[in-house]
Amino acid sequence: MKKTILTLSMIFFATMLNYTYAAASGRITISINPPSVQAKMGDRITYTGTITNNSGKPVTNLITYISLANVTQGKEAPMDLEDWSANKAIRVDTIAPHGTYMGKWPMRLIDSGGYVAYITVVDKNNNIPVISMMSHLDIKRVLRLNPNNVLPVAIGEPILIGAVFVFISFKRRPGVR
């Protein structure tokens, strides 16, 4: 009897959750632009997210933010946007019935590989996030280091500092003038 009640209650909650999600996601839709990007490390791009209110009532208290995930083979992980973008979350007070809101997220590309970007909108009134489609982002590696300039400094600086210490210790020895 307990198993039957537990099973029926789980089915009921799953159905209600699915219904609530469908109602919330049908009320709000999100698109991300551009749908895909090919760029080089160091480039700056801007993602634009368009949030559309499909209902006949105003939508209030939205928080929207962009997320980035690394999908490079063997390096799959969500990314911390602290170094990529200064604009993380945007608070949207109200979107009029059948209106839209456009948010912009500038981003500086700091690492090579394959990524996906997507925008999430959290409706604080429904506690259900709505997520956009993914924008594919391919970043090519750029080598900006000139070994001909770095190698002499990397080897010469420790040798120069060592020579200065040897000279000072040699001068401080008693009997040497």
Question: Structural domain of residue 82, as residue ranges?
Answer: 28-142
Q: Are 125 and 55 in contact (CB under 8 A)?
A: no
How large is the greatest C-alpha to C-alpha distance in the chain, in angstroms? 101
Same domain, 45 and 97: yes
Same domain, 151 and 82: no
Residue 7 lies in a domain: no
| Helix, strand counts (H, E) of the chain | 2, 10
Same domain, 118 and 46: yes
**pLDDT given for residue 177 in this prediction:** 58
Same domain, 60 and 117: yes
Q: Which CATH number covers residue 102?
A: 2.60.40.10
Same domain, 134 and 167: no
Strand partners, 129: 122
The dihedral sign for the CA sequence 27, 33, 37, 42? negative
For the CA atoms of 141, 142, 148, 152, the dihedral, rounded to the nearest 10 degrees, stands at -70
Same domain, 137 and 153: no
Residue 13 lies in a domain: no
Residue 1 lies in a domain: no
pLDDT tens digits for 6-47?
444 555 555 554 444 444 457 899 999 998 889 999 899 999
Distances, alpha carbon 161 to alpha carbons 153, 154, 165, 171, 173, in Å: 12, 12, 6, 16, 19
Same domain, 152 and 131: no
Q: Are 138 and 43 in contact (CB under 8 A)?
A: no
Q: What angle do CA 121, 127, 133 make, to 5 degrees?
A: 30
Same domain, 74 and 125: yes
Residue 77 lies in a domain: yes
Number of domains the chain is built from: 2
| pLDDT per residue as tens, the chain (177 positions) | 665 564 445 555 555 544 444 444 578 999 999 988 899 998 999 999 999 999 999 999 999 999 999 998 888 888 888 777 767 789 999 999 999 999 999 999 888 999 999 999 998 888 789 999 999 999 999 877 676 777 788 888 999 999 999 999 888 887 655
Same domain, 136 and 149: no
